[in-house]
Amino acid sequence: MSEPRPRSPAEPTEGRPPEELAADPMVAELVARTTLPPAGSALVCGVSGGPDSLALLALAVAAGCEVTAVHVDHGLRRGSASESEVVADAARRFGAGFRSVRVEVGEGPNLEARARTARHRALGAGAATGHTADDQAETVLANMLRGAGVHGLAAMRAGPTHPLLGLRRDHTVALCRHLGLVPVHDPSNDDPRYVRNRVRHELLPLCSAIAGRDVVPVLARQAAVLAGDAEVLDALAALVDPEDARGLAAAPLGVARRSIREWLTGAGPYPPPLDAVDRVLDVARQHAGATEVPGGRRVSRSGGRLRLTAPEPGPTRSVGHESAPHPTPVQSGRDQRSG
């Protein structure tokens, strides 16, 4: 992948309209490597002020999208609110819309995951992020470390929500320099307490040293191959009714697991762990009558059908000497998508 030619300082791009930005040879070359939606499409871009997201903003505008840059402030470190000014200024320069959102990160373990969930909620479905091929490689390794299956190792899918997976981090840094943008530096990206940072700064360079080559393209290519396999698995799983105990028990293991995983995930942001999926499969196979699953929900079997319920505050029924809420049926992910 060739490095685009930087513009000299005597060729400023500040304030130029989108059509002039699109005509810039360096910008045009990078746009061609993206999976941005067609010109005229409305696109929300998550822009933190770092080089990747600023490059996303510029490239999306150059591609002719109707861009709204959204800065999400998690309020986790001093000075984070002022970074929205960097994003607002860039949005003005490129003629994009802008809004800033302050979110509260819930209590609990895994700060990275909680912040990510809050950010996704604020951005909304269909928002684009500036993840590059380097981020993709890091995601593959991080998911491998936690024992992910084919879907986790396929990592992020290229498309309108991840349009920069065909670019390297060096490209986004070079583009910001070329356009005279000064990205903000998030010190949390250097904090070794976070797994992703250790993957980025330690594991990925070690893998490249052992392999004797840059493994980022290798891992990104592997993710793309596995994404195709995951699509096949999804298509087969869609043919299996996850509430049909007999059909689920008779399906190939990988297909049955995928069908249950999709059912339990529903409209939520994260899939259930493998042990929860396998417990549901045990219920379908009549090895167990019922099981608890994440979110305080319960899967039971009756008349050959599986039923997913969640406790609901309110009137109670007697259970032995205790009282428990009446269970409420949970709408399946397929029902939610088809409604």
- Domain coordinates of the chain in residue numbers? 1-130+167-190, 133-159+192-237, 240-338
Give the integer Cα–Cα distance in Å for 133 and 165. 5
**3-state SS class at 50:** coil
Name the pLDDT band for 83 (thresholds 50, 70, 90).
Answer: confident
pLDDT > 60? residue 318:
no
Q: What distances in angstroms separate CA 195 from CA 109, 111, 112, 185, 188, one per listed residue? A: 13, 11, 9, 19, 12
Amino acid residing at 43? L
Average pLDDT over residues 56-67: 97
Contact indicator for 325, 298 with CB cutoff of 8 Å: no
Instruction: Give the Å distances, CA to CA, from 84 to 45, 258, 300.
Output: 13, 40, 48
Q: Locate 36 and state its tokens.
A: 């941005």
Position 332 scores a pLDDT of 47
pLDDT digits (tens, 9 = 90+) for 5-59: 444 333 444 566 677 898 999 999 999 999 999 999 999 999 999 999 999 999 9
Q: Is the pLDDT of residue 107 over 70?
A: no
3-state DSSP of 204-243:
HHHHHHHHCCCCHHHHHHHHHHHHHHHHHHHHHHCCCCCC
Q: What is the pTM of this model?
A: 0.81
Laid out side by side, the sheet with 97-102 consists of: 42-46, 66-73, 97-102
Interval 95-104: pLDDT, tens: 999 999 887 7
**CATH code of domain 1-130+167-190:** 3.40.50.620
Q: Which residues pair with 324 in a beta bridge?
A: 317
